[in-house]
Every structure is written in structure tokens, then in C-alpha cells.
Chain A
Amino acid sequence: MGFVEAVLLTIVTAATPLLLAAAGELVAERAGVLNLGLEGMMIMGAACGFAGAYATGSIMVGALCGIAAGAVLAAVFAALTLGLAANQVATGLALTIFGIGLAGVVGSPFVGERIVAAPHLSVPLLGDLPLIGGVVFGADAFVYLSVALVAGIAWFLARTRAGLVLRAIGENPTAAHALGLPVRRIRTLAVLFGGACAGLAGAYLPLAYTPFWVSGMTAGRGWIALALVVFASWRAGWLMLGAYLFGAITILQLHAQGAGVGIPPQLMTALPYLATVVVLVVVSRARGRDRRAQPQSLGLAFVPER
């Protein structure tokens, strides 16, 4: 594999966990639920994903365990915020703290153990295409899944009736309720979906990225994913742009350092954040009509009148 291919593959790998987590959160937020527990769900996904893969030797089982762990934590969140109308911000923050702690406990028997990382696709001929061959035909399954997931979400939100219903609930749950739409059921499903995606995103780290478990290995990626959703103006396509941009600059600044570019590394480290925010803000401004991109009922509790 050539230098450029290797770099591109690293970029895709760096972007994938962000993309997976952010895609799920995007769906939840479009339904009007702000779940700040992303980091907690991710780290639980990482711990349980590793545990599952270590116990069975199967990456697939690990991924499913990660998804389940994220969804279970999301169910707790849904029960509190949708069932009991608890404050979403406070509950989400609590979920993060809870998830990080619980993941440390779940993962403690696995510290110092290792597994075989998820295999990369290997397509003869196509994989040898210059520049893009290694990325397009030589990544791991999670990468393809994340791309398919984002495409699926974009299609679902924009082109299906169920997607329209979900968006309507996110904009105005009272009106949706008056139309007879099951607001809380759909919000619950959206939150569970978000949790499952976050769990999968977390599981990606120990299953494919760095095949071992250590506490706190998500290292704040959940927060970055949250920010990406906002700066992508709640749009799946821009989310993808944002995630890959963030991944690209994260990796390229490392290469720039290695090549001896005379910019202080502290500034370099800040670059991915700066650049992603600037680009996404400029893009969404240029589109003009997205001033009111934020789902109108985002973060507000909804209690149906009986």
C-alpha cells in the first residue's frame, strides 16, 4: 500500500467512530430529544463490545454486544426523559458519568487482554487501484456500514413517511400528538436507535481501531460527535462531510508535524476543531435557508395531555 493510500485509510478509520455516533444522535435530535449521554453510551459500547469479542472470539458478536449496551443505556435515558419527563440535559450528563464509571467496572477483568482486530476487506485487482483502491476496497466492515448508515438515514428522513413523522415530532410534538401520532413511542425508538449507533461507535474502537480495552478509551469522542451534529445543521450529508473533515485534519496535522512544518503542535492539535467548525458554519450559512435548522422542540420535555 502506498503512502497516500495508507494516510487515506487512517483518515477514514479516525472518522468512522465519530460518524457512527453522530449519525445516531442526529436521528434522536431530529425527533426532538437531546441526549448528552453519547460519551457514556460509547464507552459502554466499547467495554461490552470488547467483552463480547473476547469471550466468543467473534467481532460480530462483539459489535452486537456494543450495540446492545448502547441501546440499554439509551433505554434508561428514554425511561427518565420520555417516561418521567426528566430534564434531558441533566439526564444526559448523568448518563455520561454513569456510563464511564460502569464501563470501568465491566471492563476491569479485560485490562491487559487483546483480541484480533476486525479484518479489512480484500478485493483482488480493485484493491490495488492507485490512490483510492486501498480505502474504497480495503477498509473494515464498520467503515462501509457507517457510510451505508448515513445514506440510509438521509434517505429515511427526507424520503419516507416515517421520516416525515419523526421530523414533525421533533418540530412540534404537540401538533403531532393532536394528529394522533405516537410521539413518545417514536421518540423512544429514535433514542434507542441513537444509543445503538453510539454503542457500535464505541465498539469500533476496541474491535477495529486499537484491539484492546482500556478505561476511558473513547477519550471524548462522544462530545465531538455531539458537536458535529450541531455544526452539520442536523443534516446527514453534512455530518459526513464534517466527520471526514475532522478525521482528515486530525491525521494530516500529525503528518505535518512529522514532516517538520514549523507550526506549534499545540495549535496543530486545535486545527481539526477550528477547521470543522468554520467549514460547517460557512457551508450552512451559504445555504441560507437553514437558519432554523435546529429541531424546534429539541431538548424540551413533552407530556401529552390526556
Chain B
Amino acid sequence: MRGIIAAAAGLAITYSGVVGAAAQGNPVQDKPVADKLKVGFIYVGPIGDYGWTYQHEVGRRALESAYKGQIEASYLENVNEGPDAERAIEQLVRTGHKLVFTTSFGFMDATAKVAKKYPNVFFEHATGYKRDKNLATYSGRFYEGRYILGQIAAKMSKKGVIGYIGSYPIPEVVSGINAMVLGAQSVRPDMKIKIIWANSWYDPAKEADVAKALADQGADIIAQHTDSPAAIQMAEARGIYAFGQDSDMVKFGPKAQLTAIINNWAPYYVERVKLVREGKWVTGDVWGGLSSDLVQMAPYTNMPDDVKKLAMDTEAAIKSGKLHPFKCPVVAQDGTTVDCKGGQNLADEQILGMNFFVKGIDDRVPGK
């Protein structure tokens, strides 16, 4: 099917100089190549959050410099999830944007709705699961990075307790916690984790409060699934270790940051724009990890050489596919072994829908 669309797209270029495919109701672009391609981004937060949205913005800027003068990449920031998003997406479409990236899970329904309405525009939704002929999805396998964090934490912690700042108990966060614990246990089986939910993606002062509470309760390594550098900075002040989130936050904790999981969207965005420009864009789902550079690790700092080596070896093993954080058997908190639907490892949909903690975590998944 993909081949057919691509071929049709190629023909369309040959015959009419138009990018896109007209066959069988497939997405069509009616603008000639000579026109500047307009690419739009919808952000859930401010570009100044130094976290999730900031990294998408880094990707957008990379796009602009990769296609200097050939495309226009605009964005709308601080867009509320829900009905507001629909209006914002439509606004981009009406102002001539032919490729629109919506960069938060909560934009899923709005994106799907607008995509139905405008079959000639290509949409890409980050971290969602609803797809259409002209709506693709993309996300990062951040759990791969978290497995490495777990190993480092197990080596570096004196007290044997990781403090984890949770945002919301959704599968992405739960799988991240599990991956970290599995990583830690692979090095030190008795490693403990303490989880406090901030119930927010982004509230710097509150993130700092959670980090302080975790430290006060005995955690000496802080990991976070919230978006600001508040926790790193707190760890620096307290003289303990922490991991950066979304971007390299070493500036905020030169002595505290061990490494950070970096969301590197730029290569993906450049690739997708290239496809649209060549008329080869097709829908699909890209879930990139360390191997595709969509997830990157910040330099390993503040640790002895043997820990650094362990981390780098693990990173290489995950990249090459030799190691999978959710290698079967995975034992759930209640002692039952999880069905292994992906052969040797848990299947992707099991990770995407993860709603249980693994063995070794004392806290419960909220609402379970």
C-alpha cells in the first residue's frame, strides 16, 4: 500500500509538477513545488519551558536552518488541550500550512477531527495512537533511556533509594518508572524507589517541592517525569544526584546531573518535511528510540569510569537491539508473570498501554 501511494505520488510529480498524490482519495497537495511549504507546530507549553516544548522548538529551528528559505515553519505555543486546540490547528490549516505537527498527547482528538476535515493537509501527532490517511503519529522510546538511568542510579546511590517525580499515572510515565526500576535491579536487586506524583507536567516550584520531599525522605538520586529543571537545581543545592529530562540540563546542576534523556525531534522533522517536499509522505507510526537518535543520552558526568562504561555499554546494547528493557519474563508487582506478546520482549502495545508496576516497587499505580 505504501508503495502504491509513493508511486502515485511520483507520477503526479512527473506529469503535473505537483507534489502529492491524487489517486484514490489519497492526500493531495495542490500547490506547486515552487511555492514555499508552510509547516506548522502546535505546542502545549511555552517555548521557554526548557523542557518538552523547548525541545520541539529546537526541532522546528533545525527545520528552518535545514531548508533555509525553502519552507516556512511557524508555531502556536501555550495551546490548551481540548476544543481550543481544534481552533488552533484549523487556524494553521486556513493560513496555508500543509504539514502540521501537534506535539502533545492531549491534541489527539482535535488533530484527528481536523485531519478528517482537510484531507489535503498532512498531520503528525506526537505520542498519540489515532491515525488516518493524512494523520501520522510519532513518539520516542524514552523508556530505553530510563533503563540506563536505573543502572546508573543503582551504582551511584549510597542509600539505595531513587526518588521519582511523577507527573500523571499514564502508561508512558508508568513504563518509564518500570524501565528505571528494572535497570536498577539488574545492577542491584534490592534497589528501592519512592514515587511522588506532582499531578502536573509543569510547575517548577512544585517540582522543587516534590524533589525536596523525596530528598528529605531519604532518596539520594532524583529522577523526574516533569518538564522543568527545578529538581536538578534542587539536587545541586542539596549535594545529591539527579537526571535531566527532555533536554540536557547540566547547566542547572553541573555537579548533580549524571546524564539526561534528550528528546531529539530534529532529524524526524527534517525527514518528514523532506518526504512532503518530494511528494512521498505517507501516514504511519514512528516510535524511535536510541537507535534512531530520537532519544539521546546527555554526556555521562559526575560518575566514576566504571559506571560510565556500564552506561555506555548498556546504551550500545539497546541501540544494537541486543538488550531490551522489557525483556521477558517481566514480573508484575503482584508476583504474576506478564504475558509475553512480543516474542522475547514485551510487545510495543503492552509498553504503550502499561498500567502496572513491576516487582520491587512498593507504591501502587494510583487508581489501581
Q: Does A94 contact B (CB under 8 A)?
A: no
- Tell me the bound Cα distance from A221 to B209 in angstroms: 14
Q: Which residue of A lies closest to B362 (CB)?
A: A260
- Tell me the bound Cα distance from A104 to B252 in angstroms: 20
A255 and B213 contacting across the interface, CB-CB below 8 Å: yes
Which stretch in B106-114, B140-148, B200-208, B325-333 binds the other chain? B200-208
Binary B-proximity of A207-235 (CB < 8 A = 1, otherwise 0): 00111111111011100000000000000
Binary A-proximity of B2-13 (CB < 8 A = 1, otherwise 0): 000000000000
- Contact of A266 with B199 at beta-carbon distance under 8 Å, contacts A104-B48, A210-B228, A216-B78 already known: yes
- Tell me the bound Cα distance from A212 to B229 in angstroms: 8
A266 and B366 contacting across the interface, CB-CB below 8 Å: yes
Q: Which residue of A lies closest to B54 (CB)?
A: A111
Chain B positions 250-270 with a Cβ under 8 Å from a chain A Cβ: 251-252
Residue in A7, A107, A205, A257 whose CB lies within 8 Å of B205? A205
Q: Does B22 contact A (CB under 8 A)?
A: no
- Tell me the bound Cα distance from A108 to B252 in angstroms: 17
Q: Which residue of A lies closest to B252 (CB)?
A: A114
Report B222 CB to chain A, min CB distance, Å. Answer: 12
Chain B positions 332-368 with a Cβ under 8 Å from a chain A Cβ: 362-364, 366-367
- Tell me the bound Cα distance from A261 to B113 in angstroms: 41
- Tell me the bound Cα distance from A111 to B247 in angstroms: 13
Q: Does A112 contact B (CB under 8 A)?
A: yes
B237 and A6 contacting across the interface, CB-CB below 8 Å: no
- Contact of A209 with B208 at beta-carbon distance under 8 Å, contacts A255-B216, A257-B197 already known: yes
A214 and B50 contacting across the interface, CB-CB below 8 Å: yes
Report B43 CB to chain A, min CB distance, Å. Answer: 11
Report A168 CB to chain B, min CB distance, Å. Answer: 38
Residues of A in contact, count (CB < 8 Å) = 41
B46 and A104 contacting across the interface, CB-CB below 8 Å: yes
B196 and A258 contacting across the interface, CB-CB below 8 Å: yes
Q: A107 to chain B: which residues have CB within 8 Å?
A: 48
- Tell me the bound Cα distance from A265 to B78 in angstroms: 26
B364 and A262 contacting across the interface, CB-CB below 8 Å: yes
B54 and A216 contacting across the interface, CB-CB below 8 Å: no
Residue in A6, A205, A254 whose CB lies within 8 Å of B196? A254
B194 and A258 contacting across the interface, CB-CB below 8 Å: yes
Report A18 CB to chain B, min CB distance, Å. Answer: 10
Q: A266 to chain B: which residues have CB within 8 Å?
A: 197, 199, 366-367
B46 and A216 contacting across the interface, CB-CB below 8 Å: yes
- Tell me the bound Cα distance from A14 to B217 in angstroms: 18
Report B107 CB to chain A, min CB distance, Å. Answer: 18
- Tell me the bound Cα distance from A268 to B196 in angstroms: 11
Report A200 CB to chain B, min CB distance, Å. Answer: 15
Report B20 CB to chain A, min CB distance, Å. Answer: 36
Q: B150 to chain A: which residues have CB within 8 Å?
A: none
Q: Does A160 contact B (CB under 8 A)?
A: no
Count chain A CB atoms within 10 A of each CB in B195, B210, B216 and give the residue with the most: B216
- Tell me the bound Cα distance from A82 to B363 in angstroms: 55
B202 and A254 contacting across the interface, CB-CB below 8 Å: no
Report A302 CB to chain B, min CB distance, Å. Answer: 35
B206 and A219 contacting across the interface, CB-CB below 8 Å: yes
Binary A-proximity of B204-237 (CB < 8 A = 1, otherwise 0): 1111111011101100000000001110011001
Residue in B163, B199, B217, B229 whose CB lies within 8 Å of A269? B199
Report B280 CB to chain A, min CB distance, Å. Answer: 36
Q: B216 to chain A: which residues have CB within 8 Å?
A: 3, 6-7, 10, 255
Count chain B CB atoms within 10 A of each CB in A117, A250, A254 and give the residue with the most: A254
Q: Does A125 contact B (CB under 8 A)?
A: no
Q: Does B47 contact A (CB under 8 A)?
A: yes
Residue in B54, B214, B251, B366 whose CB lies within 8 Å of A265? B366
Q: Does B160 contact A (CB under 8 A)?
A: no
Residue in A17, A209, A215, A260 whose CB lies within 8 Å of B363? A260
- Tell me the bound Cα distance from A265 to B173 in angstroms: 15
Binary B-proximity of A193-213 (CB < 8 A = 1, otherwise 0): 000000000000100011111
Q: Does B293 contact A (CB under 8 A)?
A: no
Report A210 CB to chain B, min CB distance, Å. Answer: 4
Q: Does A259 contact B (CB under 8 A)?
A: yes
Q: B217 to chain A: which residues have CB within 8 Å?
A: 255, 258-259
Interface positions of A (Cβ within 8 A of B): 3, 6-7, 10, 14, 17, 104, 107-108, 111-114, 117, 205, 209-217, 219-221, 250-251, 254-255, 257-260, 262, 264-266, 268-269
Q: 27 A–B contact pairs at CB < 8 A?
A: A3-B216, A6-B212, A6-B216, A10-B209, A108-B47, A111-B50, A113-B251, A114-B251, A205-B204, A210-B207, A210-B234, A211-B233, A212-B233, A214-B46, A214-B48, A215-B48, A217-B204, A217-B205, A219-B200, A219-B205, A250-B206, A251-B213, A254-B209, A258-B163, A260-B362, A262-B364, A265-B166
Sample of 6 more A-B contacts, CB < 8 Å, known A214-B204, A258-B217: A6-B216, A10-B212, A111-B54, A212-B252, A213-B48, A250-B206
